[in-house]
């Protein structure tokens, strides 16, 4: 039998020829690989693939965009990965723009003049902890960029690790090249929070929208210049003429984001009662009213609860069902890709009232283990919750309604109503007025990214700016464990304990029976077992 390698390196000449052939093949393969680049993006949301909207944005550039990235070298791992991703994405944008995107990376720590230049440009250094030789030290790092287009400048002061970087770049390019900006009107005058109380939402929208405070609507109406009207958490009931002004804005084809509280919670007294905003007749007529209830969900946010134990005040964290963590989103451009949003004392939407001619999309729902309670109700967190408190149903808490609507004041005799039927328009209704409000002063709190993305995506969609919606949520998302019923937990626990033991015992029995059969065959053939 001949050996598979017989004749290989049989002579020095053959060895030389075969070596040259291998080297030549490697060189040719390397050249071909450099000419034809191929890669696969295996992430769930195509995080490392330039989206079609980004391609179109880059290709439409009329003049070059110059990007100066101020990046500290030798960054800690998570910041270093962000810097590498920034460089890779800028290369992708440069290729898509046909060379109309040029960039350079500058080390601000190379000298004092460069560091001063970075700070004057608006790049913000951040102090991070770095472990070196088993010691924790602090290091000031730069990770920002300045975009220049014609005579326009936009600054990204600092790129947070894990942020949707492609969206950041595409949004900045769009801000630089946009000729006009839509107007976002924020309703005021009835206890609504100002934009200063919504800093996260404002940062998500600034540069792409003109903000306008809309007040005195009961006499002046909603200005015609407003493209999208934000009606967020009125603390007082709107007068009839103010509600009429909002209604007539919709009748003119205006788009509205309604974020309303139907329950007014008082944690100090542990009670929640019904709130009347004066807009309920409008939503009822349009076909998507907010019900006078509160949704409680097993998939809830932990809160700190103080209680007396043995004469001592003990603080412990408990899951509070009236602050649900919403992770059930529709595959709509507004909500697709959203990870999780946290709502406080949210009410469900009545989706049975929508007109057959209107198109309703439920954007967000509570989990399958939730229930509702009518207002008023007790909301004390000290209550002990059981599986009987959760019906196993899922309730809509945010929805999009598209179509032509009838005025809520069409049959009013005492009011002058100019329009009773709207053209095709859109509105988003959310059963929680607090989900986009940070608050002010010492009561200010940071909201989860999902809350801001839901609000900003809704406003973008209503304004007709849908190109970059999917990019905003293109980030690393958490994958929390799904909450299951106590009965299922018990079954899984015993299954995890008993199944491995059963498999081992079963395998042993099979081996024992097989060995017994083998010994029996040996005895029958005269062999000794």
Give yes or no for residue 283 having a pLDDT over 90.
Answer: yes
pLDDT higher at 476 or 234:
234
Determine the average pLDDT of the residues in 179-207: 94
Handedness of CA 157, 158, 164, 170 (dihedral sign): positive
C-alpha–C-alpha distance, residues 342 and 301, integer Å: 8
**Averaged pLDDT for residues 401-429:** 93
- pLDDT for 191 beyond 60: yes
Which is more confidently placed, 481 or 99? 99
Q: Which residue has the higher pLDDT, 334 or 29?
A: 334
Give yes or no for residue 376 having a pLDDT over 90.
yes
pLDDT at 474: 65
Is the per-residue pLDDT at 220 higher than 70?
yes
Greater model confidence, 460 or 482: 460
User: How would residue 483 be classed by pLDDT, with cut points 50, 70 and 90?
Assistant: low
314 has a pLDDT exceeding 80: no
Indicate if the pLDDT at residue 294 is higher than 70.
yes
Give residues with Cβ within 8 angstroms of 482, minimum separation 6.
none
DSSP letter string, 73-100: SS--HHHHHHHHHHHHHHHHHHHHTTT-
Q: What is the pLDDT of residue 479?
A: 59
pLDDT at 304 over 70: yes
pLDDT of residue 109: 84
**Average pLDDT value for the chain:** 88
Residue 244 pLDDT greater than 80, yes or no: yes
> Which residue would you say has higher pLDDT here, 478 or 401?
401
Is the domain defined by 52-170 classed in CATH 3.40.30.10?
A: yes
State the pLDDT at residue 382. 81
Domain formed by 182-472, architecture: 3-Layer(aba) Sandwich (3.40)
Q: What is the pLDDT of residues 35-89, one digit of tens each?
A: 655 556 666 656 667 888 888 889 999 899 999 999 998 888 888 999 999 999 9
Token pair belonging to 198: 């919504």
- Identify the band that residue 224 occupies on the pLDDT scale cut at 50, 70 and 90: very high
Confidence of residue 435 (pLDDT cuts 50, 70, 90): very high
What is the model's pLDDT at position 133? 65
Least confident of 402-411, 467-476, 486-495: 467-476
Can you tell me the distance from the alpha carbon of 342 to that of 314, in angstroms, rounded to the nearest whole number?
A: 26
pLDDT (0 to 100) of residue 48: 64
Instruction: Answer whether residue 203 shows pLDDT above 60.
Output: yes
Q: Of 166-170, 256-260, 351-355, which one has max mean pLDDT? A: 256-260
Distance CA 96, CA 389 (A): 55
Q: Is the peptide bond before 376 cis (omega within 30 degrees of 0)?
A: yes
Helix (H) or strand (E) holding 177: helix 165-177
- Give the rounded percent of residues in the chain with a pLDDT score beyond 90: 55
Range 469-481 average pLDDT: 64
pLDDT at 437 > cutoff 90: yes
Provide the pairing of β-strand 126-132 with 135-141: antiparallel
Task: Please indicate whether residue 486 or residue 499 has the higher confidence score (pLDDT).
Answer: 499
**pLDDT above 80: residue 297:** yes
pLDDT for the residue 71: 94
- Position 66 scores a pLDDT of 95
Which pLDDT does position 361 carry in this prediction?
96
Domains in the chain: boundaries: 52-170, 182-472, 490-529
More confident residue, 233 or 313: 233
CA–CA gap between residue 167 and residue 157 (Å, rounded): 15
Return the exposure string of 2-12: e unless at least 16 CB atoms fall within 10 Å of the residue's CB, then b.
eeeeeeeeeee
- How many residues appear in the chain? 529
Give Cβ neighbours of residue 228 (< 8 Å, ≥ 6 apart).
Answer: 182, 183, 184, 185, 254, 255, 256, 257, 459, 462, 463
Place of tokens 């005025």: 407
Residue 235's pLDDT is 94
Sheet of 271-274: strand order equals: 263-266, 271-274, 377-378
More confident residue, 511 or 229: 229
Q: What are phi and psi of 48, to 5 degrees?
A: -105, 20
Q: What is the pLDDT of residue 478?
A: 56
* Longest distance between any two alpha carbons in the chain, whole Å: 112
């Amino acid at each position: 039998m001949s050996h598979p390698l017989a004749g290989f390196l049989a002579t020095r000449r053959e060895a030389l020829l075969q070596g040259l052939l291998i080297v030549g093949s490697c060189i040719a393969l390397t050249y071909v690989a450099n000419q034809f680049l191929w890669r696969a993006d295996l992430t769930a949301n195509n995080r490392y693939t330039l989206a079609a909207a980004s391609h179109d944005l880059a290709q439409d550039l009329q003049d070059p965009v110059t990007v100066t990235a101020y990046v500290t070298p030798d960054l800690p791992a998570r910041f270093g990965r962000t810097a590498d991703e920034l460089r890779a994405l800028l290369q992708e944008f440069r290729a898509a723009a046909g060379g109309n995107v040029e960039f350079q990376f500058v080390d601000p720590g190379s000298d004092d003049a460069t560091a001063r230049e970075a700070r004057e440009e608006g790049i913000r250094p951040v102090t991070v902890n770095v472990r070196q030789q088993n010691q924790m030290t602090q290091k000031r790092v730069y990770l920002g960029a300045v975009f220049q287009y014609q005579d326009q400048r936009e600054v990204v002061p600092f790129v947070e690790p894990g942020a949707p970087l492609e969206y950041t770049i595409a949004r900045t390019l769009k801000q630089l090249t946009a000729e006009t900006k839509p107007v976002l009107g924020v309703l005021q005058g009835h206890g609504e929070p100002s934009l200063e109380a919504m800093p996260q939402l404002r940062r998500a929208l600034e540069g792409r929208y003109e903000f306008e405070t809309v007040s005195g609507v009961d006499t002046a109406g909603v200005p015609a210049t407003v493209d999208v009207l934000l009606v967020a958490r009125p603390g007082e009931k709107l007068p009839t003429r103010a509600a009429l002004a909002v209604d007539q804005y919709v009748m003119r084809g205006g788009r509205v984001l309604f974020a309303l509280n139907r329950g007014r919670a008082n944690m100090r007294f542990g009670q929640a009662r019904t709130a009347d905003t004066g807009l309920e007749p409008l939503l009822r007529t349009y076909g998507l009213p907010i019900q006078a209830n509160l949704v409680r969900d097993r998939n809830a946010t932990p809160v700190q609860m103080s209680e007396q134990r043995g004469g001592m005040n003990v603080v412990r964290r408990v899951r509070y069902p009236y602050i649900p963590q919403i992770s059930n989103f529709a595959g709509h451009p507004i909500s697709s890709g959203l990870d999780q949003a946290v709502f406080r004392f949210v009410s469900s939407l009545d989706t049975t009232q929508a007109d057959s001619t209107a198109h309703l999309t439920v954007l967000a729902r509570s989990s399958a283990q939730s229930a509702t309670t009518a207002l008023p109700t007790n909301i004390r967190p000290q209550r002990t919750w059981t599986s009987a408190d959760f019906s196993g149903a899922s309730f809509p808490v945010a929805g999009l309604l598209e179509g032509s609507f009838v005025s809520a004041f069409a049959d009013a005799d005492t009011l002058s109503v100019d329009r009773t039927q709207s053209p095709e328009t859109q509105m988003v209704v959310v059963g929680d007025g607090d989900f986009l409000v940070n608050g002010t002063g010492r009561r200010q709190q940071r909201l989860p990214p999902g809350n801001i993305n839901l609000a900003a995506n809704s406003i973008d969609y209503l304004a007709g700016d849908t190109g970059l919606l999917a990019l905003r949520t293109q980030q690393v998302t958490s994958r929390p464990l799904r909450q299951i019923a106590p009965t299922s937990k018990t079954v899984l626990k015993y299954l995890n304990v008993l199944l491995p033991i059963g498999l081992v015992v079963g395998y042993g029995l099979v081996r024992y029976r097989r060995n017994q059969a083998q010994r029996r065959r040996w005895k029958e053939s005269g062999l000794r077992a």
